[in-house]
Amino acid sequence: MKTKNILMLVVSCLLLAGIAGVDKSSADGPGIEMRAGDFKMLSPHAFWPSSGCPDIANTKTFQTQGLGYVNSPEFAGAVHAVAYDASEYSPAEIPPDWRVAAENWIEYIKLTPDEESNWLSPSALFQLRGGEGLLFPKGKYACNPDLVYLASLEYRKMQRREDLPPVFPRAVHAATKDLQEIIAAKRQMARRFAARATAIGSKIAEAERMGAGNCSPGEVARAKRELERAFIEARTVQSTLPETVLSFDRAERMAEFLLEPHKFASSRGGSCQ
């Protein structure tokens, strides 16, 4: 396990190094620009969603019960404290897999959004763009209800927030089921999402060939960002299926808006209108 964690760190560093210097000027979208034509090289499996236990924070069960705090570095620290016998809530006999789960939780939190940042880390974006799953080790007890419950007690104590509701095991069971349903629904749409991404990317690329890149570079950039946003939403569980479909709809409208004026401009000799 130690070797795997070291490998994970090395991979993350390489990923971060690989995207150094990429334009991150857009505050409302991903920090990595994907070329519109890249999507046709990805299979439907590249659109399968990636998820980890902290994603239970995004389920209806946790949102309605005010339990979204589990998707935070501080809660990951509470999980670690309980699993490593550093909490008054640590049981007398700690299951060995709890430590694996604690490391998994911390690694996943580093990659995925919390309630404040609301976007993925650069390394997570880099992995998801290539159709990979998020690179974190998965343990059998990654979402163990007893561990999560005890960690919620530790978190409330650490944050001096006794007013926060604890995460009872029944809530973890219900949220895990919610998460599985979200993943299943998005997987069923993977082939359709792949086809839409390819079609939208082709429209943007065609508009660029017809001069949109010179005439409306800002609009082209926004269309690409919206398409990549839709792609990332398809790959994660932070957004619902209807929200992901709406993202693809917005990207498609942007691409069609770009394309039509430049078809006309091309027929007039390529001048900007």
Verify that 107 and 171 share a domain, yes or no.
yes
pLDDT band (50, 70, 90) for residue 27 = very low
Q: Is residue 1 part of a domain?
A: no
**Is there a contact between 179 and 59 (Cβ–Cβ < 8 Å)?**
yes
Q: What is the pLDDT, as a whole number, of residue 127?
A: 56
Asked if the model's pLDDT at residue 123 lies above 60, the reply is no
For 89, the token pair is 């809530």
Distance CA 265, CA 35 (A): 23
pLDDT band (50, 70, 90) for residue 14 = very low
Q: Is residue 140 part of a domain?
A: yes
Boundary-marking domain end, from 140, 159, 184: 184
The domain in which residue 231 lies consists of 190-267
Verify that 161 and 254 share a domain, yes or no.
no
pLDDT in tens, 217-271: 888 889 988 998 888 888 888 788 899 999 999 999 999 988 876 565 554 455 5
Tallying the residues shown for the chain, one arrives at 273
Verify that 69 and 167 share a domain, yes or no.
yes
For 185, the token pair is 């629904």
Verify that 100 and 165 share a domain, yes or no.
yes
Verify that 160 and 213 share a domain, yes or no.
no
Q: Is residue 180 part of a domain?
A: yes
Mean pLDDT in residue range 132-141: 45
Q: What is the pLDDT, as a whole number, of residue 199?
A: 92
Q: Is residue 45 part of a domain?
A: no
Q: What is the pLDDT, as a whole number, of residue 132?
A: 52
Q: What is the pLDDT, as a whole number, of residue 147?
A: 94
Asked if the model's pLDDT at residue 105 lies above 70, the reply is yes
Q: Is residue 46 part of a domain?
A: no
Verify that 71 and 166 share a domain, yes or no.
yes
Boundary-marking domain end, from 161, 184, 207: 184
Task: Indicate yes or no: pTM above 0.85.
Answer: no
Angle at 144 between CA 123 and CA 187, to 5 degrees: 55
Q: Tokens 């060995």 map to which residue?
A: 96
Verify that 123 and 214 share a domain, yes or no.
no
Verify that 194 and 165 share a domain, yes or no.
no
**Is there a contact between 31 and 225 (Cβ–Cβ < 8 Å)?**
no
**Count of domains observed in the chain:** 2
Q: Is residue 25 part of a domain?
A: no
Candidates 159, 177, 175; CA nearest to 167 is: 175
Q: What count of other Cβ atoms lies within 10 Å of the Cβ of residue 6? A: 10
Verify that 164 and 243 share a domain, yes or no.
no
Distance CA 5, CA 135 (A): 11
Q: Is residue 76 part of a domain?
A: yes
Q: What is the pLDDT, as a whole number, of residue 23?
A: 31
Q: What is the pLDDT, as a whole number, of residue 50?
A: 74
Q: What is the pLDDT, as a whole number, of residue 153?
A: 97
**Is there a contact between 69 and 155 (Cβ–Cβ < 8 Å)?**
yes
What proportion of the chain, given as a percentage, has pLDDT over 70?
68
Q: What is the pLDDT, as a whole number, of residue 88?
A: 96
Q: What is the pLDDT, as a whole number, of residue 233?
A: 85
**Is there a contact between 247 and 220 (Cβ–Cβ < 8 Å)?**
no
Verify that 166 and 197 share a domain, yes or no.
no
Boundary-marking domain end, from 184, 202, 218: 184
Asked if the model's pLDDT at residue 12 lies above 50, the reply is no
Q: Is residue 12 part of a domain?
A: no
- Average of per-residue pLDDT values in the chain: 75
pLDDT band (50, 70, 90) for residue 135 = very low
pLDDT band (50, 70, 90) for residue 178 = confident
Q: What is the pLDDT, as a whole number, of residue 29?
A: 38
Q: What is the pLDDT, as a whole number, of residue 18?
A: 25
pLDDT band (50, 70, 90) for residue 126 = low
Verify that 56 and 180 share a domain, yes or no.
yes
Verify that 113 and 198 share a domain, yes or no.
no
**Is there a contact between 134 and 108 (Cβ–Cβ < 8 Å)?**
yes
Dihedral sign (CA 1, 18, 23, 38): negative
pLDDT in tens, 52-82: 888 888 888 999 999 999 989 999 999 999 9
